[in-house]
Structure 1
Amino acid sequence: MREVDYGRAWTYESIVGAVPGVDVPDGVALAAQFALFEGAVLALAAAGGLWGAVPAATAAVVVATAGSALMLDLGRRLRRADLPDAYTHVVFGSSVETVLGVVAYVALLTYLFVVDPRDGTTLVATLLGTPPSAPAAFLALLVCWDVCYRIGVGWWAAVTALWRALAFDLDEEARGTVAAADRRTAAFGLLQLLLVPFVASAPLLVLAVVGHVVAVLVVLGLASVMR
């Protein structure tokens, strides 16, 4: 992880960068994140016989790790480019992506523990068994938070991209930089569709994931047209 100005950094970067002695290349950090979570998934699956939950958990770990890669990539690209300070401050320094992630996470928990139980067999019971073990539930909720936080990042990157297109007149080089950033945000949105098969039994979650991805793509498309 590179040293960054915490006033122009994602919350994720600020937390990791503040850990004493942590200064590793992005690729190593991402590999460690994936290995740590996937290793925990496999260990708990072996201990509790939860092999049926491994594909869904792995998909979530892949999405979360890809979200971290997106954040590091956008941070590097946008901070190096000659972009308006007002834009970079709002993107990185406002922590709105964390607020959006919290909203997504609370909505998910409300569905899993309030709405879903009314329909019979719950998604939690299907994946983790009845009753779920405490370690498996802890890891599942942690990975879900990781995914929801990255979803908040996607929302915020898209919304600020549209605002940037409307509010600022960038030079050609800067437009090229933000276009590349927006393409990566769109690609991350599409990657989230990897989660859909694993929530197919929950139509409301399918609608939420697909609707979110479509909304991000539409907003980024508008930003591209207006750039």
Structure 2
Amino acid sequence: MSDAPNYGETWVYESIVGALPGVNFGERGAIALQIAIFETAVLFFAWVYDLWTAALAGTAAIVVAAVGSVVMLRMGERTRAAAVPTPYRRLLFGSSIEVVLGILAFVALVTHLFVFDPRQSTTPLVTVLFGPDPPIVVVYLMLLILWDLCYRIGTSWWAAVVGLWGALRYRFDEPTAREMRRVNLLNVGFGVTQVLLVPFILDQPILLLAVSGHVVAVTVVSVTAAALIRT
């Protein structure tokens, strides 16, 4: 009998990796492959187009997304292993709201980069990173990495909200309460790693406010959820 979780009880990221026929990388293998593909592409195009400043920003985003992948897997494993009520699990995993939140974050970011920022700045962030005539393939790679990052940020938002709702709605036995506190604190850890992005957006007040606000909000909500869990 398989120990694999049922689909509908996983993040979309887990479902995609687990559903690929004939592919079984395992958790570490999937994350290592994710890092290797993205980082190799970033370094290759930085070498081809001499975009080493952009490569630093891309590497920071890849590291944060990779940490997000690890945190997502750990949060998923701990939540499924804990004796949480079925509605809690269904809301967290089965609704796929994290994808919707990730899309909203990604669309807002693309709108900022290509519409808002060029109207507000003589040298937009895209120009700072990639020059006045950005290579198409590099922009494609940038958007792919940003989507990967935004999806994990959306997952972090949703996990924080559901964690707080569960803490207010349910009482848990002591082992389950202990696990759910750890899940909430894992989410705080992922939020803190996003500070790595700050050096690249210091002259972008909107992005700086968005990233800082997200980190603070997730930290406050997740810590509050951990503190309010009742036994």
Q: Please indicate, yes or no, whether the TM-score normalized by the shorter chain is above 0.5.
A: yes
Q: Indicate if the aligned counterparts of 2:185 and 2:223 stay in contact, CA closer than 8 A.
A: no
What is the TM-score with the length of structure 1 in the denominator?
0.97
Alignment of 1:151-190 (within 5 A): 151-190=153-192
Hey, what does 2:29 align to over in structure 1? 28
**Aligned partner letter, 1:62:** V
**Aligned partner letter, 1:91:** L
* Structure 2 residue corresponding to 1:129, chosen from 128, 131, 135: 131
Bigger mean CA deviation after superposition, 135-144 or 17-26: 17-26
Note the residue ranges of structure 2 that are not aligned, 5 or more in a row: none
Hey, what does 1:43 align to over in structure 2? 44
Report the count of equivalent residues: 226
Alpha-carbon distance in structure 2 between the residues aligned to 1:81 and 1:226: 17
- Listed one character per residue, the Cα deviations across residues 94-149 of structure 1 (whole Å, up to 9, x for unaligned) are 10000000010011011111110012101001111121001100000000101111
Q: Indicate if the aligned counterparts of 2:42 and 2:58 stay in contact, CA closer than 8 A.
A: yes
Deviating beyond 6 angstroms after TM superposition, the runs of 4 or more aligned structure 1 residues are none
Q: Indicate if the aligned counterparts of 2:188 and 2:223 stay in contact, CA closer than 8 A.
A: no
Alignment of 1:53-72 (within 5 A): 53-72=54-73
**Aligned partner letter, 1:154:** S
> Quick check: 1:98 aligned with 2:99?
yes
Alpha-carbon distance in structure 1 between the residues aligned to 2:90 and 2:34: 27
Hey, what does 2:5 align to over in structure 1? 4
What is the TM-score with the length of structure 2 in the denominator?
0.95
Alpha-carbon distance in structure 1 between the residues aligned to 2:33 and 2:4: 19
Note the residue ranges of structure 1 that are not aligned, 5 or more in a row: none
**Aligned partner letter, 2:183:** A
Q: Indicate if the aligned counterparts of 2:45 and 2:138 stay in contact, CA closer than 8 A.
A: yes
Q: Indicate if the aligned counterparts of 2:101 and 2:151 stay in contact, CA closer than 8 A.
A: yes
**Aligned partner letter, 1:63:** V
Give the superposition deviation at 1:24. Answer: 2.1
Hey, what does 1:218 align to over in structure 2? 220
Give the superposition deviation at 1:82. Answer: 1.1
Alpha-carbon distance in structure 1 between the residues aligned to 2:186 and 2:217: 15
**Aligned partner letter, 2:146:** C
Give the superposition deviation at 1:78. Answer: 0.9
